[in-house]
Structure 1
Amino acid sequence: MFERILIVCVGNICRSPTAEYLLRHRLGDAGGAQISSAGLGAMAGYPMDSTSLALLREHGVDGEAHRAQQLDSALLRQSDLILAMEKIHVAAMVRMAPEASGKVFLLDRWLDGRDIPDPYRQQRPAYEHVYGLIEQGVNSWLRYL
């Protein structure tokens, strides 16, 4: 159904790569979709934040290969489904590529439609909370993928 899924946050080192690798893990080989992530203000070329990476690893997911990439209108146009962490991210992407508006949704769309806060530079409990929200969001999308 969706061949190319893009997950977006700001820096592309915490939330969106966590969701990307978790979704890949949940779908496994059966998914068949190409899943990637990008940031509205990406720390391009940087690896995943160490706390985010550790949490993934503790849940049996390897995100070591991740390198942040900058979001652009071409990425938005070529994606079939785009999942954002916050409502302001959705608005920014729609401004960047209005033609993509029908395929941009919140990761939390099927739950409460809430923003998933940025844990960057906070203590581990904030990352754990965000990981839980991302996991719920990813799991809620599985039936539609």
Structure 2
Amino acid sequence: MVLLPWFSAMSEMKHVLFVCTGNTCRSPMAEGLFRKAVEQRSDYTVSSAGVAASKGTRCSGETSDFLNKRKITMSDFSSRPVSDSILSEATHVFAMTRGHLEALEARFPKHSDKFYLVREFAGVPNNAYEIDVPDPIGMGRKAYEEVGAVLDTAIPKIIAYIDETTA
């Protein structure tokens, strides 16, 4: 079978989804950082959602501040709850915590082959607690910077993994 150029490009498209709790802190931060990392590439799209998110909330002020310092804007961002249709569009889904991963697996088992933990790509943690990307909400600017540092380490490795394992 011969693939038309437009079909071939569609089949190679990678859609990365980041998932946290409320889709206002960690996952939008990851979405913004990932989008910046792949901005010169046409084979990636990225979005985010939350396992307990309400629809239509802006990302937290601290997340916006963190991203703005890196010249990343999320002015059009709007939170959304994870759903079957969102997961159907994704090729790779990265959860911030084991709890998020377990919630995804319980609610959407047919998509479980797409699920990963972000922290798996950020180096070996010192203890089991550190396998989760901690929730920075209410913890101040330093907590957001620490989440950003984890994501800065993980994102290039996530991109490399996806590039190596997809055709």
**TM-score, length of structure 1 as denominator length:** 0.92
> Deviation string for 1:112-142 (max 9, x for gaps)?
2621000011211111111111221212212
Q: Distance in 2 between matches of 1:141 and 1:25?
A: 14
Residue matched to 1:47: 58
Can you give the 5+ residue segments of structure 1 that lack an aligned partner in the other structure? none
* Amino-acid identity (%): 27
1:116 is matched by which residue type in structure 2? V
Deviation string, structure 1 residues 91-120 (Cα, Å, up to 9, x no partner):
110111111111100112222262100001
Taking the aligned partners of 1:70 and 1:85, their CA distance within structure 2 comes to 15
What is residue 7 of structure 1 aligned with on the other side?
18
AA aligned to 2:81 is Q
Q: Which runs of at least 4 in structure 1 moved beyond 4 Å after TM superposition?
A: none
Give the TM-score taking structure 2 as reference length: 0.81
Q: 1:80 aligns with which of 88, 91, 95?
A: 91
1:50 to 1:3, Cα distance in 2 relative to 1, 3 A: same
Structure 2, unpaired ranges of 5+: 1-11, 126-130, 163-167
The structure 2 residue matched to 1:138, chosen from 147, 150, 155, is 155
2:67 aligned partner: 56
Between 1 and 2, higher relative CO (CA 8 Å, sep ≥ 6) is seen in 1
Q: Distance in 2 between matches of 1:48 and 1:56?
A: 11
Residue 140 (structure 2) aligned to one of 110, 123, 130:
123
Aligned residues: 145
Partner of 2:7: none
Q: 1:89 to 1:2 in 2, by over 3 A?
A: farther
